Structure 1
Amino acid sequence: MNSTSSSDSNGPKSFSVNFNQDASSLQVGCRNGYRLYELSSVDSLELVYSNGAEDSNLVERLFCSSLVAVVSLTSPRKLKVCHFKKGTEICNYSYSNTILSVKLNRSRLIVCLEESLYIHDIRNMGVLHTIRDTPPNPSGLCALSINHENCYVAYPGSSSIGEVQVFDAVNLHAKTMIHAHDSTLAALSFSSSGTRIATASEKGTVIRVFSVVDASKLYEFRRGMKRCVAISCLAFSLCGQFLSCSSNTETVHIFKLEDPHNSPRRSVEESSWMGYLTNYLPTQVTDVFTQGRAFATAYLPFCGVKNAIAIATIQHQLRLLVATESGVLYIYNIDPNEPGDAVLYKEHRLDAVPENFDKTDKGRSSSPQNIEGILGSYAGIVKGNPPGQMSGTESDKLREMAAAAESPPKGAFQFSDDQEYPPLTQISD
């Protein structure tokens, strides 16, 4: 299982993979559309939707709702927001440059370009604010808190050092600047509460966790001693107790965010020769001794393939989920009380649609509401467009439904139903 091969045996990149905000769903984009999987079971994957249209480069689903944001390879400057159960495109926006990443929560939708970010109100898709002239960000590195009350956006504040700019996406002002690393940033992730942010740099050896409130450093973990490591993903567990880290190596590290003073390992170190030496050695050396080590490690059967990771509780067991761009999902068991190696439990391929999957039943007929009610509730999107225009037919249809955005027809749509849409109108944060 601990392989040193330079690539995944399943071949080069052919998929974009992404977990939703609470790791209850896996989105897979490919050259012939995209697929959505529910992650309620580890023994089998439930394919809830398969779209066989144009190639999909970015796919973001809002929790387990029917709202999906999609960017294709053929139109990398266009964002489409779809209701997959209806098989309907709700709206689309065109931007001045390639869309590098898209983030969603119940309040905001963030579109990240190389030197700007657009903040949309997810209730009506209007543009609330544009952050322009950001430091060059060619990888589209950006994080959005999933908590709509602590609704923060984080992005690189510098292209030469590891500064993190945190922006309040509700009140629309800068929150804080965190000097996280000396080298440029490689990965960012908020905790589920939105009060902590994890960072990693291109150097790839140290992961740090900071308080969003006062920018203080809360934790520091050492991933390893190697210098040529490209960290690609950081992910907190929903409980906030664990933080996982993946890179271009064959290992995924899981760190436990416990009070250092209550850590059994730290108590042993402080009472040993190591604790004695840290009082006399230079700061640079003692920092290495005091950095936390991985609580658990998962060994992947490949290296050199980018992947997305998540920690989730599925069927009453803590699991590490690793989805690769070559089209495989690996599921590892984690014992939250015992450090050590995570155990590979299951492997699922993502490169085929089951023969018995009925796209019509799954994708289009699972909800009885009519499409006019949906389009009406999104009539406000014609205001505040970023550069570019929506299609004329769609725009005319939305204008005709403008009144419905202010007073949605009764019985036409369940606005509070997470299985359909997030709240769209007349609900305060």
Structure 2
Amino acid sequence: MIRDKKVKSVRFNQDQGCFTCCMESGVRIYNIEPLVEKLHYDIDVVGSVSKCEMLFRTNLIAVVSGGAPPRFADNILSIYDISAKKKILQVVFASSIRAVRLRRDKIVVALLNQIHVFSFPTPTQRLFTLETRENYKGLCEVSPLVSAEKQILIFPGHKLGSLQLVDLCCTEISISSAPVWIAAHKAEIGCLALNQQGTRAATASIKGTLIRVWDTATKNLLVELRRGTDPATVYCINFSRDSDYLCCSSDKGTVHIFAIKNTNLNKRMTLPSGGMLGKYGESQWALANFTVPPECACICAFGPNSSVIAVCLDGTFHKYVFTSDGICNREAFDVYVNVCDDEKYLQWSTALLSLP
């Protein structure tokens, strides 16, 4: 039974092998395979936490306070070195931090109307600032791989429904590169994602019925996927590591799995396309799906061996395995907030539980 463990947000790390859990009582880090709590900073150390970003499986995490009682204001970014058990960096911004994204060489911080890019870890200096449209959700993603040809940053563009792309490799200090944007949707963008290599971007509007996948080099639409017919809030979109598949979750309580390399695997309507149905009759529906509690937000990502992980704010953990013919079976279920509840084990003062 979940006992007064209110979860404010959850987020996967860059390789989707761990996830952070921000709570009124602090922050936790969980490994996925197997599901085990690896780190716990309690309220006495970090206060209540609204956002936490891991840097792969290194000792560095970024934390933003939130909720009650916050230890710091929500315009302060704190970087902790968990091996040294101390804060190594603090940056104060003019307004509330909406999102933080980490690369091994950069920090990206989204505010309501700006995105700041800093060098990282040393020397940490602001490289440039991008002015944005009002971005309440802090929607932005950056390609995590240093080895990739391009360092792509994506976020909602100034024009309604547009997606802006910036190649951080081609950006000089204090000077932003020329804006490149894609007319992604007619309505406001509600969710976005970027694959590991920065070659594919996925977008959904606030309507939430369609997900569109784009080539970040050519700006061409690669595939349009139908989540459903009723409007929905899309919580999360993620690519598989090889970019062959895509998953998404929404407030309908269903996690959808699509094929984006071999789109013939996706389901289609049995009725003849065209005619009165128009493009609707040609829609590509999910290859497979499974359900989670619809009353709470949920993030999803791909695990090993054709599995999809869903982590919900109600403290539940779901793992399903799918096949190319659309069969989807549950492999694991747990209440992650109750995984490892030994208070002595969880104290900051105990020996460090190093991430694998």
Q: Structure 2-normalised TM-score?
A: 0.87
* Equivalent of residue 185 in structure 2, options 168, 181, 184: 181
CA contact (8 A) 2:287 2:326 kept: yes
Question: Are residue 87 (structure 1) and residue 75 (structure 2) matched?
Answer: no
Give the distance between the partners of 2:101 and 2:297, measured in 1 at CA. 19
* Equivalent of residue 345 in structure 2, options 337, 357, 371: 357
Give the distance between the partners of 2:339 and 2:262, measured in 1 at CA. 45
* Equivalent of residue 331 in structure 1, options 308, 319, 338: 319
* Equivalent of residue 96 in structure 1, options 94, 97, 101: 94
Determine the structure 2 residue equivalent to 1:15. Answer: 8
RMSD over aligned Cα atoms: 2.5
* Equivalent of residue 216 in structure 1, options 215, 220, 240: 220
Whose strand proportion is higher, 1 or 2?
Answer: 2
Give the distance between the partners of 1:291 and 1:362, measured in 2 at CA. 53
Aligned CA distance change for structure 1 residues 237 and 265 (closer, same or farther; 3 Å): closer
CA contact (8 A) 1:223 1:294 kept: yes
Determine the structure 1 residue equivalent to 2:157. Answer: 157
Aligned residue for 2:129, secondary structure, equals strand
Aligned residue for 1:194, secondary structure, equals coil
Determine the structure 2 residue equivalent to 1:225. Answer: 229
Aligned residue for 2:309, secondary structure, equals strand
Determine the structure 2 residue equivalent to 1:298. Answer: 290
Determine the structure 2 residue equivalent to 1:257. Answer: 260
CA contact (8 A) 1:233 1:309 kept: yes
Give the distance between the partners of 1:10 and 1:344, measured in 2 at CA. 25
Question: Are residue 47 (structure 1) and residue 51 (structure 2) matched?
Answer: no
Gaps of 5+ in 1: 1-8, 367-417, 420-429
CA contact (8 A) 1:99 1:113 kept: yes
CA offsets per residue over residues 260-285 of structure 1, 9 Å max, x none? 4xx2678x98xx872xx53xx37xx4
Question: Are residue 26 (structure 1) and residue 19 (structure 2) matched?
Answer: yes
Give the distance between the partners of 1:200 and 1:48, measured in 2 at CA. 33
CA contact (8 A) 1:50 1:363 kept: no
Shift of 1:351: 4.8
Question: Are residue 70 (structure 1) and residue 58 (structure 2) matched?
Answer: no
Shift of 1:87: 0.9
Aligned CA distance change for structure 1 residues 353 and 30 (closer, same or farther; 3 Å): farther
Matched AA of 2:193: S
Aligned residue for 1:235, secondary structure, equals strand
Matched AA of 2:337: L
Aligned residue for 2:306, secondary structure, equals strand
Gaps of 5+ in 2: 172-176
Shift of 1:346: 2.0
Matched AA of 1:80: S
Determine the structure 1 residue equivalent to 2:240. Answer: 237
Give the distance between the partners of 1:140 and 1:218, measured in 2 at CA. 25
Q: Higher relative contact order at CA 8 Å, sep ≥6: structure 1 or structure 2?
A: 1
Shift of 1:222: 0.5
Give the distance between the partners of 1:327 and 1:110, measured in 2 at CA. 28
Shift of 1:13: 5.5
Matched AA of 2:74: P
Whose helix proportion is higher, 1 or 2?
Answer: 1
Give the distance between the partners of 1:155 and 1:40, measured in 2 at CA. 31
Question: Are residue 201 (structure 1) and residue 194 (structure 2) matched?
Answer: no
Shift of 1:338: 2.6
Aligned residue for 2:33, secondary structure, equals coil
Give the distance between the partners of 1:265 and 1:363, measured in 2 at CA. 45
Q: Structure 1-normalised TM-score?
A: 0.73
CA offsets per residue over residues 114-136 of structure 1, 9 Å max, x none? 0000101123222111112x111
Shift of 1:357: 2.4
Give the distance between the partners of 2:53 and 2:21, measured in 1 at CA. 9
